Chains A and B, each alone.
Chain A
Amino acid sequence: MQLPFHPILSDTSIFLQAERISVRYGETEALKEVFLQIPTNRVTVLIGPSGCGKSTTLRCINALVKLSSGVISYGDESIQNMSETQLRRTMGYAIQSVGLMPHLSVEENVDLVPRLLGWERSGRGERVGRLLNLVRLEPGIYRNKYPHELSGGEAQRVGVARALGADPPVLLMDEPFGAVDPLTREQLQDEFIRIQRQLKKTVIFVTHDIDEAIRLADYLVIMKEGEVVQADTPEKILSSPQDDFVERFLGPDRSLKRLSLFTADHCCIQEVLSGLEGPSKSVLPEDSTRCYWQVDEGNRPLKGFMWINGRLVSRVVHSVNHTVQTYSSMRECMATILSLGLPAAAVVDDEGHLFGEVRFETIQTISVS
């Protein structure tokens, strides 16, 4: 039998390969001879409706679910020949229900895998501090808290920090942002993108949220009834869905979804007009189509100005809602542009400094290309 062929990313190697893996629970077949390749240092997202086998696939990779047949190979070795506990300790694991140990403090939870690995005690406390900073939790405040004192979003951040605890090369994430409210989810996704850019892990991510999938994925695997339907880059899948199922799954707003594929720092203009004072005629003449940003001493945008139909329109920038981060998607940029009421949005870096601006024309160009 010919193996189903799914193109793999050309710019990286294969980290892990599943060959014709099947899982049966009695009569029901959860996975049917799935063939799957996971690219190294990229985010692979498994997506599909409930019961499609995406979670099962993930749990096969760290041997929480036993294969009925087939082989998963990790480098040159088959995982069936490796010690389950050793294998799992090299894979960070984050799940929807977080599963923090309620009797351990945040610090002890994050420190669990290094503790299992028997790392030297000195330096571990410092490492916990660094990880908490990475997920944007102030170590001084959170280190000694207990899980019942955390909000859902905070608990999930701790869960991600714990998964990164022993600096594993691969992260398995099973709907990690599924149980939090939409606003927190968006923040967590932003953070995830930021962290992934910094750490470049091999991530295998399960979700049922197509927007989340398109936003996060470098390599998207669409599953249905225990089989892989299509696996490719999100761009390819959005532009040429394999069949009706994929097309219906992507939804009617495919072009809008495409915007999620681009981030602000790649699409923004970095030479912006800005200054501590409001715009003078010489900087922003009446016939200019550019936008001018008034900033404070720390180069943080305060106000945006633009000539529209012979009128100088100004809008006050409230840092949270009216600017976008360098790693925000173009979809968020569009939302920001609409809410600010200027045909451009200011892009700020991690510290809130003005980084550039995203213009509405750019968005138009992207969505038609």
Chain B
Amino acid sequence: MRLYKRSASPNHVIRRWIPLILITAGLVLYITSSALQTTILSFLFPGETQFTHSRKTILQMTGAHITLTIAATVLSSVFGIFIGILVTRKAGREFQQLVLKLNAFIQTFPPSAVIILAFPVLGFGWKPALLALFLYSLFPVLGNTVVGFNSVSPAAIDAAKGMGMTWFQQLHIAELPQAFPMIITGIRHSYILNLGTAAIAAVIGGEGLGTIIISGLTLRNSALVLSGTIVISMLAFIGEQLFALLSWKQTSHGDRTEKQANMSKKEK
């Protein structure tokens, strides 16, 4: 008999959650206690005297950073999935190549270039920062959404139509669940991208953790740079873990059969 686990055993679940909980607890402790920051940083950099930013606490900067990152990711996910669905429908298919090419083109821009190019056009402050982040991270979601929908087996679509699904049912019963793992990967990529780019956004007035990193660089104070970087890395790790949990739950039973994916299209 073939054994098949639909849901994971409790052990498995715990193992997946432990690192996530530990890192989150570490993050919360670190950002809320300036004493802890000073202790750790003074141990690593005994020569330095300043371990915190002069005007803002790490907590404030982390809050701004998370807000900016999540807002940009949510915006780019909503628009990316929406446009991605449009260009994979019959009516919007002619725009698909354009979108994919634009995606490949934008991806070649380094994040810092995006922010610096955005400055003269969009101005200074958190709004332009958000707009720059949104535009930049739109394409990973959009590109993956298109690829996800294109990889849905044509046979499943034919069967869905043939059994009398409406346009909307075909989308949400047949296609979206099959494209979902790919879309999640796109959102994850967009989140990580935003997390890093938001640090650079400090130069145009984004008030995130970039503030402390940049003042560390200006003051030649490695402790300040590290302090900001630690928090960003922990945020990246937590995000990765959460997305991994999400897509793992979705795909653990949904592995597409090679056979079905490779089935040739029917005689037309």
Q: Footprint of B on A, CB under 8 Å?
A: 25, 50-51, 55-56, 62, 64, 84-89, 91, 93, 95-105, 112-113, 116, 144-149, 152, 159, 162-163, 165, 172, 174, 179
| Interface of A: prevailing SS | mixed
User: A84 — which chain B residues lie within 8 A by C-beta?
Assistant: 164
Nearest Cβ distance between residue A53 and chain B, in whole angstroms?
Answer: 10
Contact (Cβ within 8 A) B266 A55 = yes
Indicate the member of B163, B166, B259 with the most A CB atoms within 10 Å. Answer: B163
Shortest beta-carbon distance from B157 to chain A in Å? 8
For B157, the closest partner residue in chain A by CB is A99
Q: Do A148 and B256 touch (CB < 8 A)?
A: yes
CB-CB under 8 A from B177, the residues of chain A are 101, 103-104
CA distance A174 to B174 in the complex (A): 20
Contact assessment for B156 and A101 in the assembled complex, using a CB-CB cutoff below 8 Å = yes
| A302–chain B nearest beta-carbon distance, Å | 30
Most central of B155, B157, B158, B159 by chain A CB within 10 Å: B159
For the complex, give the distance between the alpha carbons of A172 and B158 in Å: 13
Task: Say yes or no for B161: interface residue by CB 8 A criterion.
Answer: yes
Complex Cα spacing A207 to B158, Å: 18
Cross-chain contact of B158 among A89, A99, A147, A149 (Cβ < 8 A): A99
Residue contacts A-B, CB under 8 angstroms, 16 given: A50-B267, A85-B164, A88-B164, A95-B155, A98-B159, A101-B173, A102-B178, A102-B255, A105-B253, A112-B173, A144-B4, A146-B253, A146-B254, A147-B257, A149-B2, A163-B163
* A87, A95, A146, A149: the one within 8 Å of B159 (CB): A95
- Are B256 and A102 closer than 8 Å at their CB atoms? yes
Q: Are A102 and B267 in contact (CB under 8 A)?
A: no
Q: Is the CB of A116 within 8 A of B163?
A: yes
Q: Which residues of B contact A (CB under 8 A)?
A: 2, 4, 6, 153-166, 169, 173-174, 177-178, 253-257, 259-260, 263-264, 266-268
Query: How distant is B170 from chain A, measured CB to nearest CB, in Å?
Result: 10
When C-beta atoms are compared, the residue in chain B nearest to A90 turns out to be B164
Alpha-carbon distance between A141 and B164 when the two chains are bound, in angstroms: 28
- Partner among A50, A113, A174 whose Cβ is within 8 Å of the Cβ of B164: A113
Once the chains bind, are B163 and A98 in contact (CB under 8 Å)?
Answer: no
Q: Are B165 and A103 in contact (CB under 8 A)?
A: no
When A86-B164, A89-B164 are in contact, do A99 and B159 touch as well, CB less than 8 Å? Answer: yes
Contact A149 B4 (CB under 8 A): yes
Compute how far the CA of A116 lies from the CA of B4 in the bound complex, rounded to whole angstroms. Answer: 28
Which residue of chain A lies nearest to B256 when distances are taken between CB atoms in the complex? A102
Task: Please determine whether B256 and A51 come into contact, CB atoms closer than 8 angstroms.
Answer: no
- Contacts A102-B254, A144-B6 given: A95-B164 contact, CB under 8 Å? no
Q: Is the pair A93, B266 in contact by a Cβ cutoff of 8 Å?
A: no
Kindly state the separation between the CA atoms of A162 and B263 in the bound complex, as whole angstroms. Answer: 19
CA A102 – CA B6 in complex, angstroms? 14
Distance between A122 CB and nearest chain B CB, rounded to angstroms? 21
**A146 to B253 alpha-carbon distance, docked (Å):** 7
Note all chain B residues with C-beta closer than 8 A to A145.
4
Q: Are A100 and B156 in contact (CB under 8 A)?
A: yes
In contact, A97 and B164 (Cβ under 8 angstroms): no
10 closest A-B pairs by CB: A99-B159, A88-B164, A97-B155, A93-B162, A99-B155, A89-B164, A148-B257, A97-B263, A103-B254, A103-B177
Q: Which residues of B contact A88 (CB under 8 A)?
A: 161-164
Tell me if B156 and A102 are in contact (CB < 8 A): yes
Distance to closest chain A CB from B182 (angstroms): 13
Contact A93 B153 (CB under 8 A): no
If A99-B153, A102-B153 touch, does A172 touch B164 (CB 8 Å cutoff)?
no
Whether A102 touches B163, Cβ cut-off 8 Å, given contacts A50-B267, A55-B266, is no
